[in-house]
Amino acid sequence: MFVSSLKPDNQIFGDLSSLAAFLPIGNISLDNYAAVFDRVPAARFLINSIGVSAVTVILGIFVNSLAAFALSRMRVPAKGLILTLIIATLIIPFETLALPLLWWVNQLPNFSVGPEGFSYLKGWLDTYQVQIIPFVANAFSVYLFYQYFDSIPKELDEAARVDGAGWFRIYRTVILPLSGPAIATVAILTFLPAWNSYLWPLMSVQSEELRPVMIGVQYFFQLNVSWGEVMAYCSLITLPVVALFIAFQRSFVNSIASTGVKG
């Protein structure tokens, strides 16, 4: 993909029958990358996706870890049943929820600030929050945090309680600092679906200035298809994912390894 993004279309198809397709040889240039920014507002799409994905990750870590902390460390009635129901939601495909969810978010109140002050609008369609809020809570993230928190000795909670710490302080100062691998894993697993989201933004976002990067792919297939530009755009939108994985790779691997040992 990256090598093809450096070549013109005629060379891409000419190299397909040989190993030259994998080598940066021939007429190599960055013209396709320059053409990407001329054809679509790629910079705006990248900023939108980075913002939406980052906020989803931050809120997701906070909300899901809080839920897992309550189930793991506190005395919650019917804890097993609640956790089972949360995990059971994983079997429901998003496609079955998309239309009901679209109807519900269109009923929610939306407030905007303008020159005349606050104004009330009905519906979250065509907003940033419609791309974030429905995907903050995640059953798999709750389960992963629960499993990790459950492996931390509860004697630490008792020691903190003796020092006068409340539940939230225990969560903030004792549990979270010990849960780096779980946080890194949830961050990656939350970021990927948010970054790769296509169906939901296609249904709920109409304004071009609010669209994420995946919607931008369809722009290249509306008129004459330039495969070099398609490869260049796909290379650009892959870089943040690769960078995130490299940044959290050690914690991600440690989380998988420790889960295997504890299991």
Angle, nearest 10°, between helix axes 31-39 and 42-73? Answer: 80
The position carrying tokens 């190993």 is: 19
Which residues touch 249 (CB under 8 Å, ≥6 apart)?
none
Domain 34-93+131-262's class? mainly alpha
- How many Cα atoms within 13 Å fall on the side-chain side of residue 69? 22
Query: Could you tell me how many helices (H) and strands (E) the chain has, helices first?
Result: 13, 2
Query: Do residues 198 and 214 touch, judged by C-beta distance below 8 A?
Result: yes
CA distance 60 to 45: 22
* Domain extents in the chain: 34-93+131-262
CA distance 97 to 139: 15
Which residues touch 27 (CB under 8 Å, ≥6 apart)?
7, 8, 11
**68-107 burial, b if ≥16 CB within 10 A, otherwise e?**
bbbbbbeeeeeeeeebeebeeeeeeeeeeeeeebbeebee
pLDDT in tens, the chain (263 residues): 999 999 999 999 988 888 988 998 888 999 999 999 988 899 999 999 999 999 999 999 999 999 999 999 888 888 889 999 999 999 999 989 999 999 999 988 887 665 665 666 778 899 999 999 999 999 999 999 999 998 889 899 889 988 888 999 999 999 999 998 889 889 988 999 999 999 999 999 989 999 999 999 988 887 788 899 999 999 999 988 888 888 877 766 666 555 544 44
> What's the distance, Cα to Cα, between the start and end of the chain in Å?
39
